[in-house]
Amino acid sequence: MAENRLTRELESREKTVRKQAWRRPELLPSPDPEPGYVYRWIRLSTQGQADPTNVSSKLREGWEPVLAKSHPEIFLSGIENERFKDNIVIGGLILCRAPEEMVQERNAYYQAQAQGQMTAVDNNLMRENDPRMPMFNDRKSTVTFGKG
């Protein structure tokens, strides 16, 4: 038989696993997903200046701050904001969550707003259309490949 074969313990998968490349760590950690909720970082302050208008508008919109004890996987180095001392605050941003249905309704609302604005722009553009020199409002793109 073959005399030059390696022993079985030298052929294990752990010995042949490729070395992992170094990656830059995330600036903002991602919490473990929770079914039915969407997470988002909301601005508390910019360059050391508090931004209460932004925070209050997001809280009224339905976002609720996440308690630090509910996500122990996120490392906190210290308390940055006395008002939100029990929450997860990193670099002037606070981690908040909202129900998935609310976020989908919000996205649909803003999508409808954007579509309405595009329709208004199209109508305004096509109002200037002249049959002698028609304008084309074609928002479709095509990809062609050369023959050669």
Exposed (0-12), middle (13-18) or buried (19+): which is 102, by Cβ within 10 Å?
middle
CA atoms of 143 and 140, how far apart (whole Å): 10
Is 1's pLDDT higher than 60?
Answer: no
pTM above threshold 0.95: no
Buried b (16+ CB within 10 A) or exposed e, 50-74: eeeeebeebeeeebebbebeebeeb
Q: How confident is the model at residue 122 (pLDDT cuts 50, 70, 90)?
A: confident
